[in-house]
Structure 1
């Protein structure tokens, strides 16, 4: 396989191939002493060897190793070190539990019983239901894989294949309120600006000293000499003495030129806020990128939870003007690239987050201090985001808890003391997703960027209080607007057909109807019910107010006609009609319902029922029956 370069292959001359057959290294390795191990190499390029001889019940080891290797192998679904380690720990807890919980533990998979599996679940769920759910989920993934799944009793397999008990999935953590998010992002932006200005001042001092040492003022000359040496070698000198201030002083010295571990919390919080990406993706941002016409940055990010072989995604982040460097994802990314450049050059990592950490303790200089913070594991460095927010000179506080109302005469309760804000990447991402969804008017296909629409709704939007308040406001505004439109349509139709309804409250007697403007004969007919239609009465069916001809309109149009007469005798039927309209609302879309029945509903609720007393409406409610006339007055093809 020596042919290389252009022209080494062409039509009729295939590419060079290695001689012999390729055999990948086995994932299962048998040790000389009889133990078995599984070698893991994940898609995140992290490695580990899992030793099964450390577990009890040797009769399980070889079968467990084969199933585990299939789960975490190249074709498995657990392709990160974190997921493989979580599965390994769940299997280990299961084996230790089976070994200890009864006098004669199951020595082989064939001896495992349903009672053993249930006992393990309830043992873990006794502390936390979520722990029982997760451990049983991870363990069953191995138990049901490969040949191991065929050896267990059928009732055990059936139980493991069922939906896991005990976990009520209600979505992710709620996001922050508008005030909390504003305070959090402002604090992070202020701290990142201070970090940027601090390192820029140190760089400027080194440049001035190299150009003309005598131009540097005497008070800064010693610091300039030290920083120049750090810039040349990357090594931060030890501070003299062994006092308690020695290590903090060394960190302060390094921070003049280098991004330190203490700087990571505000940097990552601000990056999460401006990008809307989760913490795992941000920790693994690469240094490799491409600048597009000076306007945007293109880079490849990792979204682990998309599933195997679907991790990588190309994103384009706006850079913006220099004054917006801390407000745009591309501008902030390029800034962090500069702040971490010195540490990256020394440790040689391709990752963005390379920083300096004080690891020379008690004179020990063997551990390198420049490193890619999250190269080994994403959880290897405790960022303590909440601790950063609470220990700032101006702490980031949560919204105060509302004070419950007290009866009159009691002294008002003392104002609650605001607590420090609990900061997490999940809550930041939820807050950003909520704000973007609101800006896009709730249109999920446009709002879903790093997640699918179901994931965005179920895990980020569904239970967020800010999102629920906004949705309620939108629905209330939409219903109010629909009601106004329906009432306007009713008033326009009524103006064209007589101008006003004839609504007579109180007993439907002839003399009261005469006082309402009806002639004596019509009043007597109305009082006797001779003029009743489906739900109301009609005082002149032969002469429609708009046409002067015999009326041929639908009975639903009676509510927009000047000949319409409504008395207290009609109230039971009107209330029954409202129930029927509400039933139709459940069977058809909101838009169709408002278009077909909105004006009728508005006429009844706004122009008729308001003329009667609550006592009359209550009495009519006791006399109403199921309305069947609505199905009769409409053509069958028009029914919803």
Structure 2
């Protein structure tokens, strides 16, 4: 029994250490509220939020500015500077509504539920897309919730209850981005691989005075000395500017030698750093090979490779949309530059001088706009230039307008085809529901789904119309005891004897009811086509019909020489599979060989109406 009166055992521990001075956020918040202007820093990027144009309602503007400031702090709903800007724009949009319809609202206590619904209706009447309306509505309501949390009771009761839902107006199911087709994906991958090979060659020659714009037979010693001086400046200072005396001298000497100077600044820095144009093929290749979101690729850090083992490595990346689980890892192949791990190692090698110069930990440190920068800048024009330079075309043969966000869908579509549509294996990095709705249900994969449905219906029809085939042993057992005729379309000794006697034979089978056809009215003759017996529930196929079946099979295979493959499959593919895959395997090889010899000796076994040979 435990002694509850005993003193608790003290465990050794470590002294807790706290920062000597923690800045008080209240002062910063007060300044932001008073000025309606503050700087937001999220994910190593900064943006200035300016709400000074929200005039005329100072009390309301300051309350919502405080809510927006709190939303932009660590742990708030604005996880990136783009989301913070979207919150600010939504608030400005709400202000336009107040100016147009409710000029009397000057503080939070004046805001009623009817006015919030009016904002929703005003956006709908202005022609805003339903999904854009819902996004702006949700951001404005989030700010009201934060304002109420900071000052409980500041909103009227009906307004507080109205904050429990976003809108009672329906949205529109967003059309998921489609994947690129296999031809476009192959063209993108080949173009990116070509540029990667060029980059490897460019950096491999970094210690040699060997660059395309400098290869000229008339190059003087002074030109070589000037070039070496420019490279020495880059090595010492990281970059060299257009106005640097060393660059000016090199520029002048090249012009006097008749050498082009239009890309001189890029060619010089390209021997030591990645250029902005180099990032596009590298990111395209990494996204196509891994399926990482393009925004996650842009934010990769220099320590993103984790746990290398057995030819594989994990890529650690941040997916900011996954609230609460932003940091994720993806295991990929590791090795040469043809693998994702090897490609990232190459980039780390090439960007190391720029990272050391910038003291940055971002993967894509590079030279752009005359300076070294630690992050990927605007890529729209670079993407256009890259696709135009390689002449990449879309599925319609037009110049491709490459959307980098569709590359993940392209990778996922290829993986979906490789996994045969197994969602458990396909859902990597998200739930099965998201995999089905956002990555599998896209136009590029629709033909796979339609073919699957068609195959399933064909299988169901084959199962329902499976012919009744009796081997010689089964026929003998039923002849001896008709009560064992389970599965036959007839019952009783008289009916079984009639079935096996040949009295009810049709061309390819014995018929259990020629005047009780499932394809026509009872009492009328069977209207089925001449080989429809193979799919009829009344048909019973015995060894006696093997010669006729083999004769017919020989005929339809001979037709393959006269028809195109598509036409032959449409006309004879089904009946060919019925005989070859479902009927003949029920008989022994000796029985089939004997029946084949009999069929070859009696050409009258087969009777074909004119439509059998019609094209």
Q: For residue 78 of structure 1, what is the aligned residue in structure 2?
A: 78
Contact kept? 1:94, 1:120, Cα under 8 Å: no
Contact kept? 2:120, 2:137, Cα under 8 Å: no
Q: Distance in 2 between matches of 1:573 and 1:494?
A: 31
Cα deviation for residue 252 of structure 1 reads 2.4
Q: For residue 116 of structure 1, what is the aligned residue in structure 2?
A: 118
| Unpaired runs of at least 5, structure 2 | 1-9, 211-219, 477-487, 501-508, 523-532, 542-615
Indicate whether 1:384 and 2:395 are aligned.
no
Cα deviation for residue 451 of structure 1 reads 2.2
Q: Distance in 2 between matches of 1:32 and 1:431?
A: 44
Q: For residue 204 of structure 2, what is the aligned residue in structure 1?
A: 200
Q: Distance in 2 between matches of 1:232 and 1:20?
A: 38
Q: For residue 465 of structure 1, what is the aligned residue in structure 2?
A: 443
Contact kept? 2:299, 2:318, Cα under 8 Å: yes
| Unpaired runs of at least 5, structure 1 | 1-9, 207-215, 360-368, 375-379, 401-417, 500-535, 549-560, 575-599, 609-640
Q: Distance in 2 between matches of 1:131 and 1:260?
A: 36
Q: CA offsets, 1:3-26, max 9 Å, x none?
A: xxxxxxx94353243499978523
Q: CA offsets, 1:119-157, max 9 Å, x none?
A: 44226x525444323222222222244517961573795
Matched residue SS, 1:356: strand
Give matches, 1:90-101, under 5 Å: 90-99=90-99, 101=100
Q: For residue 567 of structure 1, what is the aligned residue in structure 2?
A: 515
TM-score of the pair, normalised by structure 2? 0.66
- CA RMSD for the aligned pairs? 4.2
Q: For residue 183 of structure 2, what is the aligned residue in structure 1?
A: 179
Q: Distance in 2 between matches of 1:313 and 1:447?
A: 17
Q: For residue 318 of structure 2, what is the aligned residue in structure 1?
A: 302
Q: For residue 356 of structure 1, what is the aligned residue in structure 2?
A: 367
Indicate whether 1:342 and 2:353 are aligned.
yes
- Number of residue equivalences: 476
Indicate whether 1:14 and 2:30 are aligned.
no
Q: Distance in 2 between matches of 1:79 and 1:46?
A: 11
Give matches, 1:91-490, under 5 Å: 91-99=91-99, 101-102=100-101, 104-112=103-111, 113-114=115-116, 116-122=118-124, 126=127, 128-147=129-148, 151-152=155-156, 154=158, 158=162, 161-163=165-167, 165=169, 167-205=171-209, 223-224=227-228, 226-238=230-242, 239-240=247-248, 248-288=263-303, 289-290=305-306, 292-293=308-309, 295-307=311-323, 309-320=324-335, 322=336, 325=337, 327-359=338-370, 369-374=371-376, 380-384=377-381, 386-392=383-389, 394-400=390-396, 418-462=397-441, 464-481=442-459, 483-484=461-462, 489-490=466-467
Q: Distance in 2 between matches of 1:306 and 1:202?
A: 41
Q: CA offsets, 1:172-220, max 9 Å, x none?
A: 21111111111111112212221222222234449xxxxxxxxx99986
Give matches, 1:9-88, under 5 Å: 11-18=11-18, 25-26=25-26, 29-31=29-31, 34-35=34-35, 40-42=40-42, 44-48=43-47, 50=49, 52-56=51-55, 57-88=57-88
Cα deviation for residue 69 of structure 1 reads 4.2
Of 19-28 and 157-166, the range deviating more from structure 2 = 19-28
TM-score of the pair, normalised by structure 1? 0.64
Q: Distance in 2 between matches of 1:143 and 1:33?
A: 15
Q: Distance in 2 between matches of 1:201 and 1:159?
A: 63
Q: Distance in 1 between matches of 2:221 and 2:461?
A: 75
Give matches, 1:494-533, under 5 Å: none
Cα deviation for residue 90 of structure 1 reads 0.8
Matched residue SS, 2:332: strand
Distance 1:290 1:310, change over 3 A: closer
Q: Distance in 2 between matches of 1:70 and 1:128?
A: 28
Q: Distance in 1 between matches of 2:206 and 2:20?
A: 58
Give matches, 1:583-622, under 5 Å: 603-604=536-537
Q: Distance in 2 between matches of 1:34 and 1:228?
A: 51
Distance 1:175 1:348, change over 3 A: same
Q: CA offsets, 1:91-126, max 9 Å, x none?
A: 122123312x14734222343425631344226x52
Q: CA offsets, 1:541-596, max 9 Å, x none?
A: 66657999xxxxxxxxxxxx96731426765789xxxxxxxxxxxxxxxxxxxxxx
Cα deviation for residue 273 of structure 1 reads 0.9
Q: For residue 544 of structure 2, what is the aligned residue in structure 1?
A: none
Q: Distance in 2 between matches of 1:420 and 1:41?
A: 39
Distance 1:545 1:37, change over 3 A: farther
Contact kept? 1:110, 1:153, Cα under 8 Å: no
Q: Distance in 1 between matches of 2:385 and 2:180?
A: 17
